[in-house]
């Protein structure tokens, strides 16, 4: 079946109103959950072929997110879908006001390769929960996971409701020519701009989940052991190929040497070796070469070794870094951790403000004033104080960027709202209406209207 025909059939199927039925939505969410569980080994095998990801990491950072999303919507779908009563102002008495969440219609989700299941299927789950029909275009870079998702979904769902479209750049370009009711893209800022430009042609609303250089700030008032352990885990999870990983460290000068020693201790303790099941390889040769070129040999504090055959790069810390270095010009997306020292906390916040707004930011301190300044002064998608990345694990928090790091958000109720239109309805009584708004106008009528303001 040609993709043009699938898009057309999805539009026709949505018009039948079947997807608006709560029981219908729950039935297919349950079906997707069951298929994921039944095909768990297939999903593990595919992602291992793509970049050596272990079962443990695949479940904890991918599958568990999707299952938790489904569980959340099954539990909360009725309340999320229920019309919300709001107050009615004096001018509209006697009336009743409600907000109805209605599905947008036909959705295109373009997934990312670094967490290919989570970043493809979590948006799909939210879109289905909101009552839409969906086409999923996974990243072709992680080819085996793309094929696994296509097999599971296309063999078990009607394409007029949910379909996985395989292919590369040409296929994505083709998809962007169609008019969807919403496009949800996860990927780089560079490609996000291309998607945004294409969607403008059809005035298609878009959610862009992008990235950026996410800082982690460590002050002298931090618990250094806890900070180091959490940063090393977050930075080198998935070999640094995580959009919300700490991209670089800003360490207060007085504790820098002490903190660097603790960082190295945890790198060594966690054993990020070429054959470690908890340390993935770099996704492909192109990304491997890009990352190796970012390692300035004169600034290596720790690590720097790599194995091209295995697409392995050792966790690497770079020091004596300045804002002009190559490694600070783009999101790293790999196991390289540049370090910049600072003396004044508020001045370093000012320097971050001069940069593009990142997807995440992290602060390690027990100083209340520093916490307040961090929250109030910096603009970023989301983040943590005294941890990294764990804000993603709370479905009650929105996940998304701001400025150059993205548009819109999702997770939990925010995902439901992303794929819904909030329709305003005012229902008026047919009695007791004053004549004040109708012609002919007069100064007296205008006077009464001003009193209502």
The residue from 62, 160, 209, 417 that is catalytic is 209
Asked if 136 contacts 163 with a C-beta cutoff of 8 angstroms, the reply is yes
Known active-site residue 277:
no
CB atoms within 10 A of CB 297: 7
Asked if 230 contacts 388 with a C-beta cutoff of 8 angstroms, the reply is yes
Helix (H) or strand (E) holding 118: helix 118-129
Asked if 295 contacts 282 with a C-beta cutoff of 8 angstroms, the reply is no
Tokens representing 180 are 């969807």
The DSSP secondary structure of 221-233, one letter per residue, reads TS-HHHHHHHHHH
110 strand-pairing partners: 137, 185
- Cα dihedral sign, 25-406-338-216: negative
User: How remote is the C-alpha of 303 from its chain's centroid?
Assistant: 30
The DSSP secondary structure of 349-379, one letter per residue, reads HHHHHTSPPPSEEEEE---HHHHHHHHHH--
Name the residues annotated as catalytic.
209
């Amino acid at each position: 079946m040609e993709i043009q025909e699938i898009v057309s059939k999805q539009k026709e199927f949505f018009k039948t109103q079947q997807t608006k039925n709560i029981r219908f939505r729950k039935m297919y969410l349950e079906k997707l959950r069951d298929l994921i569980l039944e095909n768990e080994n297939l999903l593990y095998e595919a992602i291992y072929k793509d970049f050596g990801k272990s079962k443990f990491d695949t479940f904890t950072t991918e599958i568990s997110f999707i299952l938790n999303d489904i569980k959340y919507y099954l539990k909360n779908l009725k309340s999320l879908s229920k019309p919300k009563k709001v107050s009615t102002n004096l001018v509209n008495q006697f009336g009743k006001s409600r907000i109805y969440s209605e599905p947008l219609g036909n959705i295109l989700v373009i997934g990312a390769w670094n967490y290919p299941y989570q970043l493809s299927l979590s948006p799909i789950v939210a879109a289905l929960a909101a009552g839409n029909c969906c086409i999923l275009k996974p990243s072709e870079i992680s080819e085996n996971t793309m094929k696994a998702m296509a097999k599971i979904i296309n063999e078990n769902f009607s394409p007029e409701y949910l379909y996985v479209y395989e292919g590369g750049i040409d296929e994505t370009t083709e998809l962007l020519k169609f008019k969807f009711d919403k496009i949800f893209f996860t990927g780089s800022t560079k490609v996000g701009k291309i998607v945004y430009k294409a969607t403008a042609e059809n005035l298609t609303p878009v959610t862009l989940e992008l990235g950026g250089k996410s800082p982690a700030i460590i002050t002298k008032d931090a618990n250094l052991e806890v900070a180091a352990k959490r940063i090393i885990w977050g930075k080198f999870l998935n070999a640094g190929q995580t959009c919300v990983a700490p991209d670089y460290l800003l360490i207060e000068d007085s504790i820098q040497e002490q903190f660097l020693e603790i960082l190295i201790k945890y790198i060594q303790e966690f054993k990020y070796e070429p054959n470690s099941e908890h340390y993935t390889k770099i996704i492909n040769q192109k990304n491997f070469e890009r990352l190796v070129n970012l390692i300035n040999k004169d600034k290596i504090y720790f690590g720097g070794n790599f194995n091209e055959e295995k697409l392995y790069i050792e966790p690497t810390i770079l020091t004596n870094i300045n804002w002009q270095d190559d490694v600070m010009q783009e999101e790293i997306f790999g196991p390289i951790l540049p370090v910049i020292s600072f003396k004044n906390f508020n001045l370093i916040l000012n320097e971050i403000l001069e940069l593009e707004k990142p997807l995440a930011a992290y602060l390690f301190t027990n100083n209340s004033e520093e916490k307040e300044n961090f929250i109030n002064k910096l603009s970023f998608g989301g983040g943590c104080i005294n941890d990294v990345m764990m804000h993603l694990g709370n479905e009650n928090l929105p996940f998304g960027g701001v400025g150059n790091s993205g548009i819109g958000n999702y997770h939990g109720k925010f995902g439901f709202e992303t794929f819904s239109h909030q329709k305003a309805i005012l229902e008026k009584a047919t009695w007791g209406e004053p004549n004040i708004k109708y012609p002919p106008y007069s100064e007296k009528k205008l006077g009464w209207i001003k009193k209502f303001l």
